[in-house]
Structure 1
Amino acid sequence: MFHRNKLVPELMVTDLQSSLAFWVSCLGFKVAYQRPEDGFAYLDLDGAQVMLEQVDASASQWLAAPLARPFGRGINLQVDVPAVGLIIQRLDLAGFSLFRDCTDTWYRVDSVEVGQREFIVQDPDGYLVRLVERLGERLYPSS
């Protein structure tokens, strides 16, 4: 049986097929299941999960306010991947430019730093997605 995570964001999208092309063809997610009649898809990438639901004015959807692009202002979704290089190539071929270029960044976590090669891209509705390739850990330099 398919394992659903305890926290899974559900993103409202304007065109499910365009969003699936981005999330599946470019980022590498797989469709775990979908309900085309509801404009809904549940996606998974090695345990990173997201739900997509197409906006439908006639449906009883949970919207706190009217949607305006870019969607998801104030949030970015971090997704761990084995390597970012191939994903960047697929995004480029599909015509998606990066919101933030790929860079190696080290973040302090207590007495160590964790490294990640990361970039940010916007999905077709403007949600920010940060793809992360783990680089390991190193001791945090004492001050």
Structure 2
Amino acid sequence: MKITPVLYVDKIEDSLPFWMERLGFQKTVEVPEGEALGFVILVKENEEVMLQSWASLRKDAPRLMPASKGMNVAFFMEVDNFEDTVKRIQGCNIVLPERTTFYGMREIGVREPCGHIVVFAAKS
């Protein structure tokens, strides 16, 4: 089984620098929606994230549109190199300062440019 998150965003172009430049994901699929991007698939090693614009979702599958836009999920991503990840997210909106949890994980959390929370973690 494979689970791939699909993040619905106002404008895909706003999130691409975070996922590609900071975290090293590569764009493998790109679907335009008018003058902007409507959908992309981003891949890094065995991990995959999809971004879809609200406009594209409304056109493609309007029955999937939520009653209201809002964040109702956070992403917990285990990383191999915590220090490197911390360097890559410098300058981002840190919403969870670096900490070590009672369950033995080092964590730091950011709000990516389109509002989704991403928590990076590694075993301490």
Aligned residues: 118
Give the SS at the match of 1:39. Answer: strand
Q: Which moved more, 1:79-88 or 1:95-104?
A: 79-88
Q: How far off its partner does 1:127 sit? A: 0.9
Give the SS at the match of 1:72. Answer: coil
- Report the identity percentage: 27
- TM-score, normalised to structure 1, is 0.70
Does residue 128 of the first structure (1) align with residue 88 of the second (2)?
Answer: no
Assess if the C-alpha contact under 8 Å between 2:96 and 2:110 holds in 1: yes
1:17 to 8, 13, 16: 13
Match in the other structure for 2:27:
31
Match in the other structure for 1:76:
74
- TM-score, normalised to structure 2, is 0.79
Consecutive aligned runs of 4 or more in structure 1 exceeding 6 Å deviation: none
Q: How far off its partner does 1:86 sit? A: 2.5
Q: Distance in 1 between matches of 2:113 and 2:65?
A: 19
Could you list the runs of 5+ residues in structure 1 that have no partner in the other structure?
A: 108-114, 136-143
> Which has the greater radius of gyration?
1
Match in the other structure for 1:117:
106
State the one-letter code of the partner of 1:21. P
Match in the other structure for 1:88:
86
**Cα RMSD over matched residues?**
2.1
Match in the other structure for 1:7:
3
Does residue 47 of the first structure (1) align with residue 46 of the second (2)?
Answer: yes
Assess if the C-alpha contact under 8 Å between 1:78 and 1:132 holds in 2: yes
Matches within 5 A, 1:97-108: 97-107=93-103
